A and B are shown apart, each in its own frame.
Chain A
Amino acid sequence: MAMVIGWLSVEIHDYIWLNYYKQIKAILNMLYFLLAFLCVVIALIVYFQGSGEGSLIQAVQNWHQQVNQDLQKSSVAQLKVLGEPKGENWSLVLNSQNQPELLTANQVRNICQNRLGVGWRLPKTNELGLLTPYPILSSHTYIWALNKRDGMNLNLTSLSQTPAQSGQTFVNYDSTDVFPTLCIQKSP
């Protein structure tokens, strides 16, 4: 039965191809010419489909952010503050995990900027566990951002060490990335 079907299929293909070869070639040539216009049409359709989210470029960027945020939310680290900062004039200004929603790095920066009132610059470096408004380590104000998957138990009562020495890891981030942050201020 398979052999009969195989033979029949070859014969049918031969019949069509031999008798209508010229017409098929003409149609394919027409399609090759139309392919250029079809690409433009398909691009327009995709653009107008994506424009519901603002524009195609924004949709692509949002997709990237959404994927990052979903990954980060599914692997959110638990910060357990074992001891509030005491002495040495430290105070805990913000613990993003106490917020109802997870905050992005941009939101954290804005909140801390509003509460602390300093101009912030977040350097994109592999500086371990440290975000400062100044390129040089400052003893005044720190934002601590952690993206360790197994969480972190922090004892903030002893903050004599700089965060770079305390062994926390922090990698390059985007402003829309979501990770638990602590905003700590040390008054001068």
Chain B
Amino acid sequence: MSNKIPKNLQSLSNRELLALEDKILLKNELCSEDRAFFTQSHLVIYFLAILFFCLMQILLSPIFTILGLQNNPLAIFLYVGCLIGSVFVASSLWAQLGLYPRYWIRTALHYWPLTLTLAIYTSYLLRR
């Protein structure tokens, strides 16, 4: 495989290659066709989206009670809006994290047995 790297990529440094990979992965994170196989970073976005959906729903639903619209079917628009908005918020947060945190999280997800083992060890140590 290393024989086939073209010269314009060979001229890049490690950090520049990392940035390029990160850029490509960020671009195609949620698209199953163009996504790279070995990164499960879309799971991070799903998890963050669910989290932000719950937070947004909890924080924005008092608006309906303030307006006097308890138990109103128009709340469906809030629900749908939170669904869509949470995805945008999650992906923007993921993009704002920075190159190295994203790289570390992707590595941890790729080597998930190691992550799981470390999590079990740390939980065991914390309990002790």
Binding site for B on A (CB under 8 A): 2-3, 5-7, 9-10, 14, 17-18
Contacts and interface: CB of A to CB of B under 8 A. Distances in A.
- The majority secondary structure among interface residues of chain A is helix
A7 B37 contact: no
Contact of B117 (A2, A14, A17, A18): A2
Contact of B113 (A10, A14, A18): A10
Contacts of A14: 38
A17 B114 contact: no
Contacts of A2: 113, 117
Nearest to A9: B113
Interface in B34-88: 37-38
B111 interface: yes
Nearest to A2: B117
Interface string B98-128: 0000000000001111101110000000000
Chain B interface residue number, banded: 10 to 19
Contacts of A17: 37
Contacts of A6: 111, 113-114, 116-117
A6 B38 CA distance: 16
Interface of B: 1, 37-38, 110-114, 116-118
Contacts of B111: 6-7, 10
Contacts of A9: 113
Nearest to A1: B117
B80 to A, nearest CB: 36
Contacts of B117: 2-3, 6
A47 to B, nearest CB: 40
B118 A3 contact: yes
A17 B36 CA distance: 13
A3 B113 CA distance: 7
Contacts of B110: 10
Contacts of B37: 17
B91 to A, nearest CB: 26
Given A2-B113, A10-B110, A14-B38, 5 more contacts: A3-B113, A6-B111, A6-B114, A9-B113, A17-B37
A17 B110 CA distance: 14
A2 B117 CA distance: 7
A14 B38 CA distance: 8
Nearest to A10: B111
Residue with the highest number of chain B CB atoms closer than 10 Å, among A2, A7, A14:
A2
Contact of A3 (B1, B38, B114): B114
21 contacts: A2-B113, A2-B117, A3-B113, A3-B114, A3-B117, A3-B118, A6-B111, A6-B113, A6-B114, A6-B116, A6-B117, A7-B113, A7-B114, A9-B113, A10-B110, A10-B112, A10-B113, A10-B114, A14-B38, A17-B37, A18-B1
B38 to A, nearest CB: 7
